[in-house]
Amino acid sequence: MEVKYIQGIKAGIAGGIVLALSQVLQFVTGLVADWTDLWVLVTAAGCLVFLLWITVSAGTGALSVRMAAPYMMKLTDAVLISAVGGGVAGIVNAAMQVLIAIMTPIFSLNTSDLVGGFATGVTQGGLTLCCAPIGIILCIVLAIIGGVIYGIAVLKLQ
């Protein structure tokens, strides 16, 4: 495997970890709101996590291109490397979303027992897994946009 793709994978892992932590933040604020009836907190956190997701996804593409800058010859290289980084970040984020979808009903006050919460969580996790490819594709597209912007603006690629 070429070094530039390894750099894209490294940037994708870093971006994926940040995206996964943002999902954990939203999960924790959801639990706090469930336990205390502070639904404004969930709404605000949801908006912030969405904006963070867009920014981090585009930033992952830019980071991928920056880390592989010595190996960049054309703008198509930037597209490929940022797509690799965005794909890895999207996969890490999707895995965390599935875990959180499974865990949410278990910790919710609306579930009467642990077994019922786990069964509901597994169902929600399966549904989240079905929709995860859409999030991965969006993460790739945003990473490509960020990588191309960085490649044109900073590296002057054509």
How many domains does the structure of the chain reveal? 1
pLDDT reported for residue 118: 59
Identify whether 158 is part of a domain: no
Identify whether 131 is part of a domain: yes
pLDDT reported for residue 62: 97
Identify whether 126 is part of a domain: yes
For the stretch 103-132, what's the b/e string if a residue is b when 16 or more beta carbons lie within 10 angstroms of its beta carbon? bbbeeeeebeeeeebeebbeebbeebeeeb
Identify whether 112 is part of a domain: yes
109-135, pLDDT tens digit by residue?
665 555 555 556 666 666 677 888 998
Q: Please identify which residue in the block is written with the tokens 């965390």.
A: 96
Note down the domain range covering 80: 3-153
Identify whether 130 is part of a domain: yes
- Of 9-13, 46-50, 66-70, 72-76, the range with the lowest mean pLDDT is 46-50
Identify whether 7 is part of a domain: yes
